[in-house]
Structure 1
Amino acid sequence: MSPEMSKWRFYMDRRLDTRRYLKSRAFLLVLIVALICTFVITTICAINNIVVEQNQIQQKSVTPVFDLVNRELLKPLYLAESFANSFALESEIYAEHVDEDALLKKLEKMEKRFGVTVFLALEKQRRQYMSDGRAFDLNEGEVYWYFEALQEDKAIMADLGQAEDIHLFFDVKIVGEGESFLGYVGVGEPIATFLDKFDEYKSQYGYDFLFVDDRNEIVLTSFADLIIIDQFAPSLSDLGAFSSRDIDLRNLDSETVVMRNEEYMISEIAIQEFDWRLLLLTPTEMRKATVTKTLLLNAFMTFALVASILAASYALLLQYKFSLESSSLTDSLTGLSNRSFLERQYIRLRKKQAMLCVVVCDLDRFKSINDTYGHNVGDEVLKHTANILKKQFREGDVVGRWGGEEFVILVPSKSADLGIKIAERTRQELASAQIYADGQRVQLTASFGVCFGSAEKPMAKLVGMADVALYQAKDQGRNRVIAKDFYSTVSMDNFRASA
């Protein structure tokens, strides 16, 4: 082939490749545009269809939703009525003198069983008793709900209480013989319990709730910025959407209002038990245009925001992980290592195939100290014990709080003698400890169980054998040290080391 022919073929091949390249780029561009247009059109159609379908579902689901909400509200009410009419609290209701400790324990058991806050307010004693252990006088000007209830004289009331953790309480009037007024029994649940249910339906159907009492005060709502943060509920008329004179606040069924730049249609149902109304706010057609216009922008902004949050969260989580690992390995009360740290250190000793003594220390009659002097003194005893343990054991030993009044010490050693001697010395130091409460010395003793063995064995086995020795020390009169050798069937049951 001549050079001119070769040049011509090369030129034609380049033109063909260029055309193919341009055609492929054009096809790819058309494909991308088509995909984008298809995505946009299908997205807009999907949004419109979803909104229409959602509104239809909302209208069809009104009755089931009302039934569910009524059940959620009436459940605690039924419990309160049951308590008021049962024999569970009868002895306290009719008693001249109430055993407050017994009553508070009974209310606490009721709370644990039914999962709700329970209270009893007695007119004769003018005292209110709560299942969280509180009891206080019903003084006018301090306990508002009680005196409002006396004025309204209703058999059933619903009110808000506990400013630090807002609860919705359902109060049932207790009436004795001859219609004599005896007090109220009530059941309460946190506002958050109801909000969780509202969120489920809001996620599924897209509508919001407003619960309004007979004074047009908003008691419950699914709007986050209207959640009640104290015991005083906002008024419905305070909302701009309901402030118009053209709106009859006593009859809002089928009314339309605009809230937060969105139009809603209201469906209303009466809750006769409390003289409340439930206002169901369903978004209208305006929502379709709003969603269509903001979808792509919101998607992009959400993606960027989520990506930024995820990146920042990842960095914060790494930093938090390091700080959490440090704090999670220390007992907050005594400052000693906790159980998790002891288990980690045992694994380290196992890798070294070390021999060690596992020493278990348990304070004698610690419950009696708590019962006699109170838990604050008990905490001081635990701290004092921890300080003695840290001083008596060596730097290489691992001292930790196993749980409650029980401590575990890992003592690397070639024989049981060292662990026994240190345990005995610590026992003597604890027995001579000078701890005082209310001018009286707190008698403190401890029993010790020592097990000698290899870290190659599971920690649970060595601790278990040390526990057996500890139980023997308890059975033999407490305040003593008993040791066992993991490799020997002969125990040192009657051994008591000298310091």
Structure 2
Amino acid sequence: MRLLPERYRLLTWISLLLVAGFLATSIASYVVSRDAIRQNVAEQTLPLTSDNIYSEIQKDILRPVFITSLMSNDTFVRDWILTGEHDTDRIARYLKQIKEKYGTVSTSLISAHTLNYYYAGGLLKTISATEPRDVWYYRVRDMQADYEINVDIDMANRDAMTIFINHRMFDYDGNFIGVASVGLTLDAVAHLLENYQTRFHRTVYFVDREGNIKLAGKALKDVHDPIGRLPGIADVADKVLNDSSTPIHHEFQRGDATVLMSSRFVPELNWYLLVEQNISDDVLPVQRVLYLNIAISAIVTLLILGMVQLVVRRSHRQMEAVAGTDTLTGLLNRQAFEMVFHQAMLDSERRGTPLCAILFDLDYFKNVNDAHGHLAGDRVLRDVAGIARGAVRENDIVARWGGEEFLVLLKDCPLQQAIVIAEKLRTRIATHDFALQGSDLLLTTSLGIAEYAQRESPSDFFSRADRALYQAKEKGRNRIAVSQPPSQPTSPSAPPTTRDNG
């Protein structure tokens, strides 16, 4: 940083501050928005979705529960069993009508007296306590609740996995007389899950007590491993399988994605309902806003830096101009002239071209200030500066040397041509009307000319021009004096160390 110029150092700090400010603001906004989305999903969206899906499932399951309740309390069914189960076609027509009316995939009736298994097609078989497929009947017979929801194969529907609602039947005296059942295929429930996922934009599936995925949509259709072996969710599998019917929040990483999950136990199915949401999908719009903010910040930063650069450059040029320009006359000041002279001196030595200087001041300038005031004196100095610029060539340099002294640097100019230019300058000043009202004072100038000698020091060069100027004044003013090169003899004249304004 210290190697940079001061103005670029300032721009660098401004850039760093702008970038840091924009980045801090954008990242802070992103983090706050991301955390708010995560909190909203975890505390509101997922539990609400889980409740909605659970309500939908209950509604879908309660409907067949209501159907079995109607069947078990239907006087026709009870009377048909109690009167000896005659005319199988009658009960078959009844079961078929129930199936078609309510849209179930199966309807069945098992009599406790004969153990006959009736369905919409008639008599299917007679169940046996030794048949593994029939153990469910004996479980329902001996249970305390009026009905159960069970997932099992449907013998009347080509052994398709089916959700059965099995309802116990009693006669008019409260004696157990059989079981009425309706079935919903798992494919139908899986279709419901697909609808849930489409509607709620979540991944919904069921697992059993061992964590095996029992029912899922297309996304998890081919997944056969228990959740305890799946990446990410394996870290929270033990917390998921906890028999809690209240939704519980979980969070885990699946690859680079953060997944939020709500789990709850569904006692009607003896399964767990899991609802997942990839939080990355919800955070993606916020990330896009972050990238957009960063892009806008970068553009704004570049615009601000460009404007600052322009202002700094303009200010720098103005300061350089003020630092190198005489404020009164607009000419170069002495400090700026010395830098210009140094370059001109090097060019003269390298190219072998002549270099001359004319040092001049106004004769009796103190009288102008005394008689007309300093404002008039300043106006005269400005006029002289303009005359000097007009008398020299375009590539020559005019500077205010100090007070009423001026210096003209003539590049690539031999001594004889410098004398001609000095005479033109003297004549123009002597004949110029400086508009000093109420005075017949004529302003004149004395000029000293020196030609630069190779390898001569600047101080020696300007000292020779200064001595030549004094020689012109000593000879009567309003004239030119020439300083000969150091190798040639010069008339001895020791210039005074101080000078008055004359």
Q: TM-score category by the smaller chain? A: 0.3 to 0.5
Larger relative CO (CA 8 A, sep 6+): 1 or 2?
A: 2
Query: Which has the larger Rg?
Result: 2
Q: Structure 1 length as normaliser, TM-score?
A: 0.40
